[in-house]
């Protein structure tokens, strides 16, 4: 039974194509198959699951922090343990979860949404996944060995330098940055190339779904932002390992150099986490209001404007360092100005809801929750953008409240909605809707109970990153309330993820298009077959599935015997040439093991980098050495098959 | 069943040169990433320099100028075989690509040898001052990315002599490799100016 | 709990300004809070209207009115933000003014305590103290901020916003307290093991009381008057204490730890961690790692009968 029967772009009677494509695109088999997969559906699923595992661990650490702060002078964690816990919580969420999960969702969804059979550079994609896995394993092993980084996720010198942080803790921070930035940059390159060169014919650049625009913009931000933190982390690694003086004032170095480099990355980083969520919101609002998002051009320009302006805000994290006031005012202006494109997006979504017919199913609830929470975060952001206000609020729990309102409200809520929305496409089954509603309300209530009181705590004087506080401060009751809220939030997360886990096995079977979607991912089976689309689609508008797809042309002539994709032109998506991608191979895994070993050995000696680079070059040669024509991208030999 | 319109792409070629190629786009993006690394490092150089009254610090001699200037000339000369190979690759002329790549590789190896002399004549250690640290690191980053690209080029040169050498994909790879080498050479010029002239002029 | 949420009261609350700069910032806060509340209510109101409005069967093309609504909202947003920007810059300008200041103090951040040096043109009038800053009311005081180790941040919310203490950089903050009182501050930049317990007290005195206070501080340490105090001094001098601590007029001249010349005149010990009384002092001296694990003061091993005289001596150092 051809699983693609009934989907809009499958020509009837294409049984032979189905069989050949199934063989050609078959995942790796055999003993080593887990180490050899390269297909974006498989790698994407792994990426998503692994990123959520880091999320769960980071969440547990947050729970420990809330327990410790629930009452004054608590003894759940010692000061040293608390410093490791809050640092690892931060680096988990920022480096191991937030950016990777957004990239992971894109790895799975983007090729489907633009009508192609592969993500560009499949081997590099596998390599990027292993790097995320190994990076997280390194950090959590360190945590269990009581040698986790402990100088904050932002790792300021001189505290993080050789004079004030003995041992390997901060070196692990520096290597983790290398793991995660290599992973993120690799995926960003793949996403950009895929979006630019592999869109379905007819999907000109102004017909791309808003989610695709969001991921394109995000990937470019990654390209320009992440190198700054890699440079910073290599500088501090060199200071600690071989005695350089980048941040040592006594020999001409400057602690503020770190802050500039780090925040030049750090501010775009949060938009890298946020902009994909904006794309997810657009997808969900459109489908659950039964109409395209209002103001497509304004939405696209807002995404692009947010990305550009986002690179001009970083000094707002340094307002208390004594920089000249006139310079600081520029960053206040930019930090306020960035609210305008975000505002435009929110107004357009509200207009879409107004003009459409909203359906209050869980994905849409999470989007409504996003608006309610994110706007608070945006407003508190405007507050801390003001230098005078920031001088009081900086480094207090007010900022903790702000950042969680924008990150959890602005990114996690859309993500939870998107996971619910795309779950049927990924697994073939629906998540339970009643549990979805329950989890939404628990998460919404729990989140606000946890983080709203923190605005107040910051205003009345509670600084950040403290392992305890004295009873006479009077901060106890609000902290206790916050911890209680964290319990509710945790319960909500358990219900949500429990729902996901159970539904993977027992959820109602979804068809190709359970929500009545508009975009191409809904034009293939759930989950998609290994070859994604039986015939590649051709599109004529922004909402292909709402515009009579059964009358649209399809592409023929793409080989069924090789992993061939259609390369189209960047702006107008006219067909240009055909390109064959490689099949399963173990080289990406080996290269990741080599890189990982080099980075871990680099904790101890600088020679690791010389030896590691040499070894890596050898492995990369193996990776890129072309295989014989028969193996490269072609179907494996099959005894019974008819000759080509 | 009614006839459904189809777009038949079977006659399209199986490769494309220049901005038609996915490898070109990947190369461009890698260039952007590395350029950003260089910009961040050079900005750090001037940031640290701005803090100091004397640059290099007192009692630190200026870096030697002879060897880096020789090396800059070597790199500029390497553009000739580089362009030769690029044009030949785009016309899929195997012999010319093979010879051109060998010449280019030899020149690059010569460059690496002189680079060792450059390091020896920096006249400062990486751990004696922030000036020494940023000088060594900036030169080190460029050396790293040049050496890795040289290795890639040598592997590709070998490949051009195997039976894989005739495939169109290989010629695209060769063309992209030349494109990347342009970046290696051109990115050296501002770094050369910063490392060896900025301490003399500023 | 609700009252806790609504009131701005606290031990070091930015909403209870007692100085000119904190007043200005608190007023700006009121403006931003008011505007934000209005904006939020409006956004949520429109969101709810959009979600729950009664939809009739009309197929009229509403997109033109939607375009107008989005455009007007965008323009209003821009204007509001511009207004907030202007008020922020105006306040910032006023805060950054550094008028002629009568007094100059240098605060040096050290893991995990504050060294306080009262400057004077006459070197013999310089005073070195720790963890408490005493200033006269109504007088602008320039506080120079520097660090001898890592980045710290000086923050006394009742008086002003914070400024960082960065090794290799000289920052400064101007304090001008409106009225006498006692105000608490705390380090606001993560600085290691005991960042959480690096607080300070600011004593704002009536100007006449301040003159008396600074004169007493300038005096060298009190000579022990009783036999028990003398014994205590001997115990102090023969312990490791002088290696880190300075007592003016004695042989104890260590500069690694807080100056103890007038320790008994301070209200707290261990950087505002414990009230300064005999019991706490004893506990701190015997086992500092219990109070502030990771701090650099080692436990004192004292013989039987040595603790009491030592405490008596320290209590005499007013």
Interface test mutation site (partner B, options A245, A562, A591, A623, max chain B beta carbons within 10 A): A245
Asked if residue C221 belongs to a domain, the reply is no
pLDDT tens per residue across span A505-531: 999 999 999 999 999 999 999 999 999
C63 and C155: one domain?
yes
**What is C111-125 written as a DSSP string?**
TTEEEEEE--SSGGG
Question: Which of A234, A243, A555 has the CB atom closest to B7's CB atom?
Answer: A555
C83 and C120: one domain?
yes
Query: What is the rounded distance in angstroms from the CA atom of residue A422 to the CA atom of residue A105?
Result: 9
Statement: residue C38 has pLDDT above 50: yes
**How does the average pLDDT of chain C come out, rounded?**
94
C207 and C234: one domain?
no
Domain boundary among C151, C180, C214: C214
**How does the average pLDDT of chain B come out, rounded?**
93
Indicate the fold that domain B18-201 takes in CATH.
Answer: 1.20.120
Q: Which tokens hold the place of A436?
A: 């979805």
Domain boundary among C189, C214, C239: C214
Statement: residue C142 has pLDDT above 50: yes
Residues 75-114 of B with CB under 8 A from A: none
C104 in contact with chain A, both atoms CB, cutoff 8 A: no
Q: Domain map of chain B by residue range?
A: 18-201
C204 and C233: one domain?
no
Q: Count CB-CB contacts under 10 A for residue C278.
A: 12
> Domain total for chain C?
2
Question: A461 vs C168: CB contact, 8 Å cut-off?
Answer: no
Question: B25 vs A193: CB contact, 8 Å cut-off?
Answer: yes
Residues 259-318 of C with CB under 8 A from A: 273, 293-294
Using DSSP, state whether C255 is helix, strand or coil: coil
C255 and C111: one domain?
no
**C100 against A418, higher pLDDT:** A418
C265 and C203: one domain?
no
Mean pLDDT over B109-135 rounds to 96
Q: What percent of chain B has pLDDT over 90?
A: 88
Statement: residue C57 has pLDDT above 80: no
Q: Which tokens hold the place of B9?
A: 């792409």
Statement: residue A633 has pLDDT above 60: no
Statement: residue A61 has pLDDT above 50: yes
DSSP state of A551: G
C203 and C67: one domain?
yes
Statement: residue A636 has pLDDT above 50: no
Mean pLDDT over A607-617 rounds to 90
pLDDT tier for residue B145 given thresholds of 50, 70 and 90:
confident
Q: What is the pLDDT of residue A635?
A: 42
Mean pLDDT over C25-51 rounds to 97
Asked if residue C11 belongs to a domain, the reply is yes
Asked if residue C222 belongs to a domain, the reply is no
Q: What is the pLDDT of residue C3?
A: 53
Question: Which of C50, C78, C96 has the CB atom closest to A354's CB atom?
Answer: C50
A121 in contact with chain B, both atoms CB, cutoff 8 A: yes
Q: What is the pLDDT of residue B9?
A: 94
Interface test mutation site (partner A, options B1, B2, B4, max chain A beta carbons within 10 A): B4
CA of C124 vs chain A CAs: smallest distance (Å): 29
Statement: residue A623 has pLDDT above 90: no
DSSP state of C265: G
**Does residue A146 come out as left (phi exceeding 0), alpha (psi in the -120 to 50 range) or beta?**
left
Mean pLDDT over A226-255 rounds to 96
Q: What is the pLDDT of residue A642?
A: 32
Asked if residue C231 belongs to a domain, the reply is yes
Nearest CA in chain A to C75: A340
Mean pLDDT over B139-152 rounds to 92
Are C27 and A478 a contacting pair, CB within 8 Å? Answer: no
CA of C3 vs chain A CAs: smallest distance (Å): 11
Domain boundary among C214, C237, C267: C214
Question: Which of B14, B32, B133 has the CB atom closest to A245's CB atom?
Answer: B133
Interface test mutation site (partner B, options A218, A231, A553, A562, max chain B beta carbons within 10 A): A231
Bridge-based pairing state of the strands C113-118 and C171-175: unpaired
Query: What is the rounded distance in angstroms from the CA atom of residue C25 to the CA atom of residue A387?
Result: 10
Q: What is the pLDDT of residue A622?
A: 85
Mean pLDDT over B129-144 rounds to 96
Asked if residue C171 belongs to a domain, the reply is yes
Query: What is the rounded distance in angstroms from the CA atom of residue B57 to the CA atom of residue A543?
Result: 63
Asked if residue C275 belongs to a domain, the reply is yes
Statement: residue A533 has pLDDT above 60: yes
Q: What is the pLDDT of residue A325?
A: 86
Interface test mutation site (partner B, options A577, A595, A611, A615, max chain B beta carbons within 10 A): A577
Which CATH number goes with the domain that contains C269? Answer: 2.60.40.420
Query: What is the rounded distance in angstroms from the CA atom of residue A285 to the CA atom of residue A41?
Result: 25
Backbone angles phi, psi at A566, to 5 degrees: -95, 125
Statement: residue B202 has pLDDT above 90: no
C263 and C114: one domain?
no
Q: What is the pLDDT of residue A155?
A: 97
Bridge-based pairing state of the strands C199-205 and C132-136: parallel
Q: What is the pLDDT of residue C5?
A: 59
Spatial CA neighbour of B52 closest among C252, A257, A503 = A257
C47 and C137: one domain?
yes
Are C155 and C162 a contacting pair, CB within 8 Å? Answer: yes
Are C175 and A61 a contacting pair, CB within 8 Å? Answer: no
Question: Which of A320, A372, A386 has the CB atom closest to C163's CB atom?
Answer: A320
C33 and C156: one domain?
yes
C173 and C299: one domain?
no
Asked if residue C140 belongs to a domain, the reply is yes
Tell me the β-bridge partners of A643. Answer: none
pLDDT tens per residue across span C246-267: 999 999 999 999 999 999 999 9
Asked if residue C54 belongs to a domain, the reply is yes
Nearest CA in chain A to C70: A347
pLDDT tens per residue across span C264-277: 999 999 999 999 99
Q: Taking CB atoms and an 8 Å cutoff, what residues of chain A touch B14?
A: 577-580
Using DSSP, state whether B134 is helix, strand or coil: helix
**How does the average pLDDT of chain A come out, rounded?**
95
Q: Count CB-CB contacts under 10 A for residue B196.
A: 21
Strand order in the sheet with C181-186: C132-136, C199-205, C181-186
Q: What is the pLDDT of residue C6?
A: 66
pLDDT tens per residue across span A39-57: 999 999 999 999 999 999 9
Q: What is the pLDDT of residue A3?
A: 81
Tell me the ipTM for this assembly: 0.96
b/e burial code for range A77-112 (CB count within 10 A of at least 16 → b): bebebbbbbbbbbbbbbbbbbbbbbbbbbbbbbbbb
Chains touching C (3+ CB pairs < 8 Å): A
Statement: residue C145 has pLDDT above 70: yes
Note down the domain range covering C293.
Answer: 227-315
Mean pLDDT over B4-9 rounds to 90
Question: A224 vs B36: CB contact, 8 Å cut-off?
Answer: yes
pLDDT tens per residue across span A536-566: 999 999 999 999 888 889 999 999 999 999 9
pLDDT tens per residue across span B59-74: 999 999 999 999 999 9
Distances (CA, A) of A409 to A372, A464, A640, B183: 8, 21, 55, 42
Query: What is the rounded distance in angstroms from the CA atom of residue A198 to the CA atom of residue A582?
Result: 16
Residues 11-50 of A with CB under 8 A from B: 11-13
Question: Which of C13, C95, C151 has the CB atom closest to A460's CB atom?
Answer: C13
Q: Taking CB atoms and an 8 Å cutoff, what residues of chain B touch A620?
A: 152
Mean pLDDT over A586-615 rounds to 94
Statement: residue A630 has pLDDT above 50: no
C193 and C311: one domain?
no
Statement: residue B115 has pLDDT above 90: yes
């Amino acid at each position: 039974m051809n699983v693609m029967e009934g989907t809009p772009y499958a020509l009837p009677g294409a049984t032979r194509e189905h069989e050949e494509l199934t063989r050609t695109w078959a995942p790796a088999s055999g003993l080593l198959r887990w180490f050899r997969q390269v297909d974006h559906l498989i790698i994407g699923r792994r990426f998503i699951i692994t990123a959520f595992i880091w999320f769960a661990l980071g969440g547990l650490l947050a729970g420990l922090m809330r327990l410790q702060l629930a009452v004054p002078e608590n003894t759940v964690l010692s000061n040293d343990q608390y410093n490791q816990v809050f640092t690892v919580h931060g680096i988990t969420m920022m480096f191991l979860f937030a950016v990777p999960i957004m990239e992971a969702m894109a790895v799975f969804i983007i090729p489907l949404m633009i009508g192609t059979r592969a993500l560009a550079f499949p081997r590099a994609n596998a390599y990027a996944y292993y790097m995320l896995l190994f990076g997280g394993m390194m950090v959590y092993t360190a945590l269990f060995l009581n040698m986790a980084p402990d100088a904050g996720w932002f790792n300021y010198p001189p505290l993080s330098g050789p004079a004030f942080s003995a041992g390997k803790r901060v070196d692990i921070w520096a290597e983790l940055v290398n793991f995660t930035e290599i992973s993120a940059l690799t995926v960003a390159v793949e996403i950009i190339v895929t979006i630019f060169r592999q869109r379905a014919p007819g999907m000109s650049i102004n017909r791309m779904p808003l989610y695709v625009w969001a991921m394109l913009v995000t990937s470019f931000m990654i390209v320009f932002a992440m190198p700054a933190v890699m440079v910073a982390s290599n500088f501090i690694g060199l200071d600690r390992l071989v005695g350089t003086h980048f941040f040592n004032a006594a020999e001409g170095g400057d602690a503020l150099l770190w802050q500039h480099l780090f925040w030049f990355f750090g501010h775009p980083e949060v938009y890298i986490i946020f902009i994909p969520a904006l794309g997810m919101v657009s997808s969900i609002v459109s489908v659950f209001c039964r109409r395209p998002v209002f103001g497509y051009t304004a939405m696209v320009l807002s995404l692009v404007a947010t990305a550009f302006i986002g690179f001009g805000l970083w000094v707002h994290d340094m307002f208390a360092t004594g920089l000249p006031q006139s310079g600081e005012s520029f960053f206040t202006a930019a930090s306020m100005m960035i609210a305008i494109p975000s505002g435009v997006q929110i107004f357009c979504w509200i207009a879409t809801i107004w003009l459409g017919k909203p359906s209050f199913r869980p994905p849409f609830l999470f989007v409504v929750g996003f608006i309610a929470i994110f706007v608070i975060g945006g407003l508190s952001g405007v507050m801390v953008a003001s230098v005078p206000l920031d001088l009081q609020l900086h480094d207090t729990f007010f900022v903790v409240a702000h950042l969680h309102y924008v990150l959890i409200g602005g990114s996690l809520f859309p993500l939870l909605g998107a996971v619910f929305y795309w779950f049927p496409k990924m697994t073939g089954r629906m998540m339970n809707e009643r549990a979805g509603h329950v989890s939404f309300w628990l998460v919404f209530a729990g989140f606000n109970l946890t983080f709203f009181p923190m605005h107040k705590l910051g205003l009345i004087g509670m600084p950040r990153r403290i392992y305890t506080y004295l009873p006479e401060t009077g901060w106890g009751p609000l902290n206790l309330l916050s911890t209680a809220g964290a319990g509710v939030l945790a319960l909500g997360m358990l219900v949500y993820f429990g729902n996901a886990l159970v539904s993977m096995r027992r959820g109602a079977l979804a068809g190709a298009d359970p929500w009545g979607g508009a975009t191409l991912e809904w034009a293939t089976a759930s989950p998609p077959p290994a070859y994604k689309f039986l015939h590649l689609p051709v599109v004529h508008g922004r909402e292909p599935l709402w515009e009579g797809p059964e009358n649209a042309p399809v592409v023929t002539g793409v080989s069924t015997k090789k992993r061939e994709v259609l390369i189209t032109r960047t702006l107008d998506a006219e067909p240009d040439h055909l390109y064959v991608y490689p099949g399963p191979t173990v080289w990406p895994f080996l290269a990741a093991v080599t890189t990982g070993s080099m980075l871990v050995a680099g904790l101890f000696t600088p020679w690791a980098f010389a030896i590691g680079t040499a070894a890596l070059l050898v492995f990369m040669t193996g990776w890129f050495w072309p295989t014989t024509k028969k193996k490269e991208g072609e179907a494996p030999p099959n005894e019974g098959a008819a000759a080509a | 069943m009614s006839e459904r319109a189809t777009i038949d792409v079977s006659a399209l070629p199986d490769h494309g040169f220049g901005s038609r190629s996915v490898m070109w786009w990947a190369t461009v993006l890698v260039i952007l990433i590395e350029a950003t690394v260089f910009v961040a490092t050079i900005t750090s150089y001037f940031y640290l320099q701005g803090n100091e009254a004397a640059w290099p610090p007192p009692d630190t001699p200026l870096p030697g100028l002879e060897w880096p200037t020789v090396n800059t000339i070597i790199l500029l000369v390497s553009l000739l075989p580089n362009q030769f190979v690029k044009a030949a690759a785009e016309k899929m002329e195997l012999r010319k690509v093979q010879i051109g790549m060998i010449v280019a590789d030899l020149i690059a190896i010569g460059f690496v040898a002189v680079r060792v002399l450059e390091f020896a004549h920096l006249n400062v250690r990486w751990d004696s001052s922030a000036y020494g640290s940023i000088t060594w690191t900036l030169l080190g980053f460029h050396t790293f990315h040049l050496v890795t690209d040289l290795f890639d080029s040598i592997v590709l040169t070998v490949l051009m002599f195997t039976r894989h050498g005739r495939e169109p994909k290989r010629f695209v790879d060769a063309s992209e490799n030349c494109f990347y080498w342009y970046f290696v050479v051109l990115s050296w010029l501002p770094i050369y100016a910063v490392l060896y002239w900025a301490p003399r002029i500023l | 709990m609700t009252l806790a949420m609504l009131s701005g009261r606290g031990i070091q609350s930015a909403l209870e300004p007692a100085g000119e700069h904190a007043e200005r910032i608190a007023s700006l806060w009121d403006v931003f809070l008011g505007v934000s509340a209005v904006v939020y209510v409006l956004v949520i109101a429109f969101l709810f209207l959009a979600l729950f409005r009664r939809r009739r069967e009309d197929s009229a093309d509403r997109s033109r009115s939607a375009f107008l609504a989005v455009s007007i909202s965008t323009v209003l947003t821009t204007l509001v933000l511009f207004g907030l920007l202007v008020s922020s810059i105006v306040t910032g300008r006023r805060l950054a003014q550094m008028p002629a200041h009568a007094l100059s103090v240098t605060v040096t951040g050290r893991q995990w305590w504050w060294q306080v040096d009262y400057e004077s043109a006459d070197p013999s009038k310089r005073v070195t103290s720790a963890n408490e800053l005493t200033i006269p009311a109504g007088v602008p005081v320039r506080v120079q901020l520097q660090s001898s180790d890592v980045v710290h941040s000086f923050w006394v919310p009742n008086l002003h916003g914070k400024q960082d203490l960065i090794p290799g950089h000289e920052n400064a903050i101007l304090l001008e307290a409106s009225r006498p009182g006692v105000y608490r501050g705390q380090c606001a930049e993560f600085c290691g093991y005991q960042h959480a317990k690096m607080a300070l007290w600011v004593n704002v005195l009536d100007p006449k009381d301040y003159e008396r206070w600074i004169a007493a501080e300038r005096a060298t340490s009190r000579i022990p008057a009783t036999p028990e105090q003398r014994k205590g001094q001997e115990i102090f001098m023969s312990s490791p204490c002088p290696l880190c601590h300075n007592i003016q007029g004695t042989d104890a001249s260590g500069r690694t730890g807080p100056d103890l010349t007038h320790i008994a005149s301070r209200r707290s010990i261990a950087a505002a961690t414990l009230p300064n009384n005999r019991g706490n002092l004893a506990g701190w001296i015997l086992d500092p790692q219990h109070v502030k694990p990771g701090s650099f003061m080692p436990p004192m091993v004292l013989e039987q009968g040595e603790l009491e005289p030592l405490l008596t001596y320290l209590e005499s150092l007013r």
